[in-house]
Amino acid sequence: MHTEIWRVVLISLFSVLFGLSLGAPFEIILLGLVAYIVWAFRIISKLFRWIDKGMRGIPPDADGVWGEISDTLNRQRRRHRRTQERMRRTINRITRLTEALEEGILVLRSDLNIDWWNGSAAALLGLRSSDRGTAVINLIRDPVFVRYISQKELDGSITLSSVSQSGRILQLSASYFGDDEIVLVVTDVTRITNLEQLRKEFVGNVSHELRTPLTVMRGYLETLSDIPGNSEMFDKAFSQMSSQVSRMEALANDLILISRLESDNQKPAVENLNLHELLQSIVAEAELLSDGRHVISLECEPDCRIAADPKDMRSVLGNIVFNAVRHNPKGASVAVKVSRYGGFINVSVKDDGVGIDAVDIPRLTERFYRGDSSRNSDTGGTGLGLAIVKHALNRCDGELKIYSRLGHGAEFICRFPNNLG
């Protein structure tokens, strides 16, 4: 800028002196300024031509302010190109990374049209280049997926059968990012699903096969124990063996039940069930189990009804009530209470017994999980009761809540939709 100012000053001074010598100072000054403006416009036009061509090559030769401007633009161009090159390398690396993934990835615009996908997504969903810009719900028409992807809050994942490849099972999970765009991750879970199904069938088949030898063993034990003249040692041995056979039979029955609940994907056949009568029957059985060692109460409207499968409801409520009796010491009270809240019916089973450690609560519905030994010793349970409760509740759209502290009792709340109004 200083160079340019000095240039204007020198041109003006020369024009004044030269104009005074000719007797026309103003005309010569004007002529000098016009010449400077013409020169400046010539430099500016060269600079703009260089800019219009994408600033390729060497910038136009100039000094002063225009030279500084061209040098600054040239430096910005080099920095921009270096930035572009870094971005290009980053994009290429991310592209190679996404192409290497086994999971399919789709990017959906806010209107659910497909914007981009990787190779795995194309293979799993049978996508073609012409599908870009197509609404994803036109390609995956399953009503479960349409409801899932249309949610305002995308949560969890869903499992669907592949439309393009028979026998393939896909898991889809979506989340928002950017300007209301959606990333949809597609995972092939066929092998995991088949292994899980194989496990369920294996457990169910083994449990069925156990019934016959256990029945034979029970028959022989009863026969041998009835033989007169057995010593006290033999009677004790037969009694303990009979007890263990009974426990094995209960375990086999529970395994068969939980396998049925897991493998049956159909909605249960519901009936107009009188909840009061069912709970009365369960409480009566609990009193026999307690043998007067606990105080058991029931609070329920006489005509409280719910649309549910009677077998599933008996499994759910029976397991919870019987657990409250089995796992609490003599003198503990067990209160069964039914209440309505909003569009739900809550069945609460509350005791004032030993309670449950907060660390154990999240794992109570796992198979064979045992919490505090004082709560589980000598109960005769199979360790599958709450796992059965969990699966049976899922079948009837119910929910289980557990509240407890050690030494302060426990409360199990089963929440069911009030589907009878």
Q: How many domains does the chain have?
A: 4
pLDDT confidence bin for 212, thresholds 50/70/90: confident
Tens-place pLDDT, residues 375-402? 444 555 667 778 888 888 887 778 889 9
Q: Last residue of some domain: 96, 114, 136?
A: 96
Domain shared by 202 and 134, yes or no? no
Domain shared by 238 and 323, yes or no? no
Domain shared by 114 and 199, yes or no? no
Q: What is the mean pLDDT of the chain?
A: 81
Domain shared by 75 and 120, yes or no? no
Domain shared by 403 and 386, yes or no? yes
Which CATH number covers residue 311? 3.30.565.10
Domain shared by 326 and 362, yes or no? yes
- Cβ atoms of 315 and 388 closer than 8 Å: yes
pLDDT score for 377: 44
Domain shared by 413 and 298, yes or no? yes
Tens-place pLDDT, residues 182-195? 999 999 888 887 87
- Cβ atoms of 308 and 270 closer than 8 Å: yes
Strands 344-351 and 333-341: antiparallel
Domain interval for residue 244: 192-263
10 Å CB burial of residue 171 (0-12, 13-18, 19+) is: middle
Between 140 and 27, where is the model more confident? 140
Residue 416 CB: number of other CB atoms within 10 A? 21
Structure tokens at 196: 């899980």
Tens-place pLDDT, residues 328-343? 888 899 999 999 887 8
Residue 234 CB: number of other CB atoms within 10 A? 13
pLDDT score for 172: 92
Which CATH number covers residue 184? 3.30.450.20
Calpha distance 172→125 (Å, rounded): 11
Domain shared by 280 and 378, yes or no? yes
pLDDT score for 16: 66
Residue with tokens 């029931």: 298
Tens-place pLDDT, residues 285-337? 999 988 889 999 999 888 888 888 888 888 889 889 998 898 888 889 999 99
pLDDT score for 315: 85
